[in-house]
């Protein structure tokens, strides 16, 4: 009898407990939507769910998701990642408010993103430059990064790029004789890795050599590089870039506790640790090399040497940042070098892959580029490339700009206001991330005639008709890309050398390149045929 009564009491407690839990969840959901529908700024956008926000509508490909949301909600809308509020704009008057101010004093959008625990875990929320929310530290790092726009640095970059590209094109000649196609994305990733690693540290990772050797062409082998873990390091940087969107968009509780998500989270954090240890080793080796070099002996210029000698007796290029007079700490050096790789590897190589996709489909454009090289240098036979001559390559520059317009590697860019601000009649709270959708802007027929047509001439004959805040491929104002001049030098070097040596074509029937989203848009499956028998213009 007493046993039966005991079990009945347990059933009552269970029933009441689950009832209370369900009522609590129900009440919280109701309160969530009451707050949502009563919010002061009712911006268009998809209805979010409690806890996850609009993750179920975003998906893995952020670029495709934003395009779909734009089709439904227009040039100004909102979405939520968890409880984090995001705004998306794709109208020039709104873009001007975000990107227009050209001084630190005047801009309200100095921050890259809203506060993110995930970015702090990656080590970029308060360090480096791209996501650094510490303004004083950001200004310091920005000053150092601006040195890569100095003429002396760009001239050295041309020389280094030239050497890497010459070696790659020798490989391509062999591949041509073997009747094989060129995997453009794979090759340009390795070109970027070798150029960036040599420029940043003075050591080549020899990624192009390793790729060539992997083809197993008989009796055709080349020496490996001098950075032992270099190729793995560059692959880890690609993974690190991929992890940024994941860590930024997915709330910490979900990343750490959901079974499948938590394993991805661990993979990204382990990768972060390995990169730091590898850079710590590389920086330590460079420090010893500098210490063992007599003061009278010239040091080879590279970014790492510049950073390690700043405000020391070996200072190569005196840096003045307010009252900053001390040498950089090792941790500061590692953060800056890491950003040279994260910013330099993915974007330039991916953009070059996109350019190659369109050039292989537009022979008339390719021939115009070759004619321009002939006009500027007088010969296609090993022209002498100089920084001054690059300013004359207007058509090649237009090809680069049009390729970025057609398919930007960075198709959306976030900025965050430091205070409440009005946008399109709505008050946007401070620390709300505002994404500028460049892909939508660049394909809007209001701003570009025949936007789906690849036409570099629009940046020559119709350049004045392009509104400034419709097309800003490298950003604008205080948050403009500090590596834009370096990127243009690398791309022009590659393209000039390409048209001098090869004819190219492609069997690809697609109008746009295939790609996947990994914080940036990475093109994939771009294959071309190269021929060394150049057809006369």
User: How is 329-379 classified by DSSP, letter by letter?
Assistant: PHHHHHHHHHHHHHHHSHHHHHHHHHHHHHHHH-HHHHHHHHHHHHHHHS-
Residue segments in the chain with a per-residue pLDDT below the cut of 70: 1-26, 28, 218-225, 315-324, 534-537
pLDDT of amino acid 444:
95
* Top-level class of domain 145-531: mainly alpha
Q: Which two tokens stand for residue 122?
A: 């990656």
pLDDT of amino acid 387:
95
pLDDT of amino acid 26:
67
CA distance 504 to 498: 9
pLDDT of amino acid 105:
79
To the question of pTM greater than 0.85 for the whole model, the response is: yes
pLDDT of amino acid 186:
95
For residue range 232-264, list pLDDT tens digits in order: 999 999 999 999 988 987 888 888 988 888 999
Q: Is 508 helix (H, G, I), strand (E, B) or coil?
A: coil
pLDDT of amino acid 527:
94
pLDDT of amino acid 194:
93
| Dihedral (Cα; 339, 343, 344, 349), 10-degree rounding | 150
Enumerate the domain spans of the chain: 145-531
Q: Which two tokens stand for residue 130?
A: 């791209």
pLDDT of amino acid 88:
96
The answer to whether 185 is a known ligand-binding residue is no
CA distance 133 to 127: 8
């Amino acid at each position: 009898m007493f046993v039966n009564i005991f079990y009945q009491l347990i059933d009552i407690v269970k029933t009441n407990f689950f009832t209370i839990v369900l009522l609590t969840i129900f009440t919280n959901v109701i309160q969530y939507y009451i707050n949502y529908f009563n919010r002061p700024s009712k911006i268009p956008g998809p209805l979010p769910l409690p806890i996850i926000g609009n993750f179920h509508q975003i998906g893995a490909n952020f670029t495709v998701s934003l395009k779909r949301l734009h089709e439904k909600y227009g040039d100004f809308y909102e979405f939520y990642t968890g409880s984090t509020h995001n705004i998306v704009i794709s109208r020039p008057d709104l873009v001007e408010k975000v990107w227009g101010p050209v001084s630190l004093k005047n801009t309200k959008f100095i921050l890259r993103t809203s506060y993110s625990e995930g970015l702090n875990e990656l080590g970029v929320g308060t360090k480096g430059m791209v996501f650094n929310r510490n303004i004083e530290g950001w200004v310091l790092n920005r000053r150092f990064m601006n040195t890569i726009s100095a003429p002396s640095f760009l001239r050295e970059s041309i020389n280094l790029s030239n050497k890497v590209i010459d070696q790659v094109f020798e490989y391509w000649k062999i591949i041509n004789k073997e009747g094989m196609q060129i995997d453009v994305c794979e090759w340009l990733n390795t070109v970027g890795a070798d150029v960036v690693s040599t420029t940043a540290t003075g050591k080549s990772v020899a990624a192009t050599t390793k790729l060539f050797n992997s083809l197993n062409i008989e009796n055709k082998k080349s020496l490996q590089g001098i950075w032992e873990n270099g190729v793995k390091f560059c692959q880890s940087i690609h993974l690190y870039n991929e992890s940024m969107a994941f860590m930024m968009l997915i709330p910490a509780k979900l990343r750490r506790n959901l079974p499948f998500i938590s394993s991805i989270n661990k993979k990204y954090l382990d990768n972060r640790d390995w990169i730091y240890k590898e850079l710590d080793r590389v920086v330590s080796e460079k420090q010893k090399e500098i210490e063992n070099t007599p003061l009278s002996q010239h040091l080879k210029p590279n970014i790492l040497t510049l950073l390690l000698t700043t405000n020391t007796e070996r200072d190569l290029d005196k840096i003045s940042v307010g009252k900053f007079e001390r040498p950089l700490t090792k941790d500061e050096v590692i953060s800056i070098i890491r950003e040279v790789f994260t910013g330099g590897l993915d974007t330039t190589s991916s953009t070059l892959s996109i350019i190659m996709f369109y050039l292989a489909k537009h022979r008339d454009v390719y021939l115009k580029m070759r004619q321009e090289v002939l006009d500027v240098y007088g010969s296609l036979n090993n022209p002498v490339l100089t920084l001054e001559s690059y300013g004359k390559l207007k058509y090649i520059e237009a090809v680069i700009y049009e390729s970025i317009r057609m398919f930007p590697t960075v198709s959306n860019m976030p900025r965050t206001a430091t205070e409440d601000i009005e946008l399109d009649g709505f008050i946007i709270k401070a620390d709300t991330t505002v994404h500028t959708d460049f892909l939508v802007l660049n394909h809007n027929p209001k701003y570009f005639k025949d936007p789906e047509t690849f036409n570099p001439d629009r940046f020559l004959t119709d350049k004045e008709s392009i509104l400034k805040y419709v097309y800003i491929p490298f950003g604008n104002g205080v948050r403009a890309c500090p590596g834009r001049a370096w990127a243009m030098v690398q791309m022009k070097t590659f393209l000039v050398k390409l048209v001098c040596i090869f004819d190219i074509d492609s069997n690809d029937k697609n109008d746009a390149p295939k790609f996947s989203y990994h914080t940036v848009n990475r093109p994939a499956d771009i294959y071309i045929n190269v021929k060394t028998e150049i057809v006369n213009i």
